[in-house]
A = this chain, B = another copy of it.
Amino acid sequence: MKIGIFGYGNLGRGVEKAVLKNNDTELVGIFTRRDPSSISTLTGAPVYSANEVEKFKDIIDVMILCGGSATDLVHQSPSLVSLFHIVDSFDTHAKIPEHFATVNAIAKESGKIGIISCGWDPGMFSLARVYSEAILPDGTDYTFWGPGVSQGHSDAIRRIEGVLDARQYTVPVPSSVELAKSGSRPTLTTREKHTRDCYVVAKEGADLKKIEKEIKEMPNYFADYDTTVTFVSMEELKEKHASLPHGGVVIRSGITSEGNNQTIEYRLNLDSNPEFTGSVLLACARAATRLAAEGVKGAKTILDLPPSALSPKSPEELRAHSL
């Protein structure tokens, strides 16, 4: 399958690396809104201006969109699905129905498939929730994120006056994870589920106490959590906090009859969040080509894709060796 990457940040590079691991895949080009000549790619794949994308209408099977949800995907997904099958990682949970409807209308018209909201949450974690709830209707779901870097929370700290750079780790509270698995089906508050660890580089002479207070009291982001703030040098941040690990666990604890607890746990432990997300997007791109070959069009999510469609193996091979 011939793919394009639209947007070349961390996620775009993650998809590029995933192409190297999937030998049924050819990367035709990377599309950017920056000056293409300013970009050197990891694999030497050609870089084109985003304005040129229409020329690739008959060359690229699936365009994988690697922009952010808020300002990029809301526009890019509807626009590009008029030309290509697309896969995106739209992750503003509350706006998924609206995004789905927009992409669906255009994709039905263009005869393309638009698989939205792929990745791990939404994505693999959504799958874990839906399968588990279907099997254990009398149960309770728990999703814990981390330990891992939250880009949104790191950005929120960076916007505080006097802050040069920051990295925020979301950390599940181990005793709460154990409690969720215990079968007691506890109600856990936001504060009980996660703590937030912040590593902050301040400008010289900045008021550290004030920065710490502003972080800890920031509504939505930190106020409801037990937050620790550690000031570090720029060198230390770059040395010790450069990578983007993440992960988490989805737990469903339910009963099938009085006294018979059943627990399902789906856990990810990721050294690189963007590379893992990129790998999920690539597997979904494969599913897009499979469904397209059957005449399917319109918007889909990972919940609509037969699992076998994500695999490079044939259904016969899967039944013989993986079932």
- Which residue on chain B has the smallest CB distance to residue A244? B260
A-B contact pairs, 19 of them (CB 8 A): A14-B256, A17-B256, A126-B323, A130-B311, A134-B283, A137-B312, A256-B275, A256-B276, A260-B271, A260-B275, A262-B272, A262-B275, A265-B266, A265-B267, A267-B267, A302-B307, A305-B307, A306-B306, A307-B307
Residues of B within 8 A of A122 (CB): 323
Query: Are A306 and B308 neighbours in the complex by a CB distance under 8 Å?
Result: no
Contacts of A200-235 to chain B: CB distance below 8 A: none
Tell me the complex Cα distance, A87–B69, Å: 40
Residues of B within 8 A of A269 (CB): 181, 261-263, 265
Tell me the complex Cα distance, A222–B220, Å: 56
Looking at A268, A286, A311, the one whose CB has the most chain B CB atoms below 10 A away is A311
Query: Are A272 and B286 neighbours in the complex by a CB distance under 8 Å?
Result: no
Residues of B within 8 A of A131 (CB): 124, 127, 307, 310
- Which residue on chain B has the smallest CB distance to residue A267? B265
Interface size grouping (class) on chain A? 35 or more
Number of copies: 2
Residues of B within 8 A of A256 (CB): 14, 17-18, 21, 272, 275-276, 278-279
Q: Does A26 contact B (CB under 8 A)?
A: no
Query: Are B271 and A259 neighbours in the complex by a CB distance under 8 Å?
Result: yes
Residues of B within 8 A of A135 (CB): 124, 276, 279-280, 283, 310
Listed from nearest, the 5 A-B pairs whose CB atoms lie closest are: A256-B275, A134-B310, A265-B267, A263-B269, A260-B271
Tell me the complex Cα distance, A138–B124, Å: 18
Given A96-B323, A303-B308, A306-B306, A260-B272 contact (CB < 8 Å)? yes
Query: Are A301 and B319 neighbours in the complex by a CB distance under 8 Å?
Result: yes
Q: Does A175 contact B (CB under 8 A)?
A: no
Q: Does A320 contact B (CB under 8 A)?
A: yes
Looking at A133, A280, A316, the one whose CB has the most chain B CB atoms below 10 A away is A133
